[in-house]
Amino acid sequence: MKLKRHIVAIDDNAGVRTALEILLAQRFATVITLPHPDKLRQSVAGNGIPDAILLDMNYRSRTNDGNEGLYWLGEIRKELPEVPVVLMTAFADIDLAVRGIKDGASDFNVKPWDNDRLIATLESVTSKNNHGKESKTTSAALMDWGVSESMSRLRELVEKIAPTDANVFITGENGTGKEVLAREIHRLSRRSNAGFLTVDLGSLPATLFESNCSVTGKAHLPALQPTVKENSPMLRAVHCFSMRSAISRRNYSPRCSPRCRPAASCQ
């Protein structure tokens, strides 16, 4: 069933716009694609304020630093401050993602995107009524628990651990809903009024991430310091996902790290 939401996707590549239109139209009632952010004002005048904007970060040829996207993010935030903006680029790194989040983006996705993750992201950021007031009913509806016994046990477990400060390590195949489950835990936690920052480590070279993270002590991510406090759950989580070094240097189990105290035994 389609959600009655209005999504605007902005990308200079016609092929990308077509792919996004086909994908997003399967889930959202209204999907409009634009070749450049300067067309957004005209779109809003003719079609109304969107529920979310998917914004590419590069528009000029041979430009991939993301500065154009950050500029247009700022312009959109000035005119439509309550509309969530999800940034998207093929040239992603941690610093660029953090800069985007600090400048007001709701989330950050990389190309080539994962279909399920992109839709889940847009569902999440649009789960607010009146462009800013969160509707717990709508948010809760995003998590379809089903009726099976195993999902009932999982729901009980999530509701038990969400209010605690325990680190949670979620494993599973691509497209099984790991991020959706993580967002549900965040929604039920005592930090639900704070931001939820995701970093897609699968899209980052191992050397880039390892250069910013220590497996022998605290995580060293200067770019994150203005956003999260030292030794916060975010930094502890980032530390936990430095898997390659953790496995090779400390003989961690590849499925269960001692620093990540999972809610249930790792399978």
Helix (H, G, I), strand (E, B) or coil at 47: helix
Helix (H, G, I), strand (E, B) or coil at 56: strand
Question: Distance between CA 115 and CA 135 in Å, rounded?
Answer: 25
Mean pLDDT over residues 6-14, rounded?
94
Antiparallel, parallel or unpaired: β 28-34 and 3-10: parallel
Question: Distance between CA 138 and CA 33 in Å, rounded?
Answer: 25
- In degrees, to the nearest 5, what angle opens at C-alpha 87 toward C-alphas 47 and 175? 100
Q: Would you give the distance in Å from CA 17 to the centre of its chain?
A: 20
- Write out pLDDT tens, residues 148-201: 888 888 888 888 888 887 888 888 888 788 888 888 898 888 887 777 777 766
Residue 63: its pLDDT value, please? Answer: 74
Q: Which pTM was predicted?
A: 0.51
- Write out pLDDT tens, residues 52-90: 999 999 888 777 788 888 999 999 999 999 999 999 988
- Write out pLDDT tens, residues 96-129: 888 888 888 988 888 889 999 999 889 888 875 4
Residue 213: its pLDDT value, please? Answer: 54
Helix (H, G, I), strand (E, B) or coil at 258: coil
Say which residue the tokens 């200067």 belong to: 222
pLDDT band at 247 (very low <50, low <70, confident <90, very high): very low
Lowest mean pLDDT of 6-10, 45-49, 172-176, 247-251, name the range: 247-251
Residue 36: its pLDDT value, please? Answer: 94
Question: Residue 46 corresponds to which tokens in the numbers above?
Answer: 């003719």
